[in-house]
């Protein structure tokens, strides 16, 4: 009888120790899951904010229509500048020609 009682106590102590260990492991696991869930939530919030900023930037970005409007305004100016460049080159050649004539004949 004493042997059976000692065996029962030993087995119940082992069972209680295992049960206590499982409770500790369960608590640790629940804490770990809660922390991971919080970290994932924070990361998702950061990504959500980042995507929102990107979407706003895309809405405000220059589009093809905007570039076309810019070209419509700039092209005439470039044409005028090109004509002025041609005029200046012509004037430069005329001035060089006049200078060469003056140099050859003098100012008299």
pLDDT tens digit string along 8-36?
Answer: 666 676 767 777 788 889 898 999 999 99
Q: What is the pLDDT of residues 59-85, one digit of tens each?
A: 999 999 999 999 999 999 999 999 999
pTM, two decimals, is 0.45
Q: How far is CA 19 from CA 15, 62, 90, in A?
A: 6, 65, 102
DSSP assignment string, 56-82: HHHHHS--HHHHHHHHHHHHHHHHHHH
Q: How many H-runs (helices) and E-runs (strands) does the chain carry?
A: 2, 0
Q: Which two tokens stand for residue 41?
A: 């939530």
Residue-range domain boundaries for the chain: 1-61, 64-108
The Cα 37–Cα 34 span in angstroms is 5
């Amino acid at each position: 009888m004493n042997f059976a009682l000692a065996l029962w106590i030993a087995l119940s102590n082992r069972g209680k120790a295992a049960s206590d260990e499982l409770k500790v492991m369960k608590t640790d696991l629940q804490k770990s899951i809660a922390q991971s869930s919080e970290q994932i939530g924070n990361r998702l919030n950061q990504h959500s904010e980042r995507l929102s900023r990107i979407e706003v930037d895309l809405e405000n970005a220059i589009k093809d229509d905007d570039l076309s409007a810019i070209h419509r305004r700039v092209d005439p100016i470039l044409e005028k500048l090109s004509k002025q460049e041609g005029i200046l080159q012509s004037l430069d050649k005329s001035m060089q020609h006049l200078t060469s004539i003056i140099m050859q004949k003098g100012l008299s």
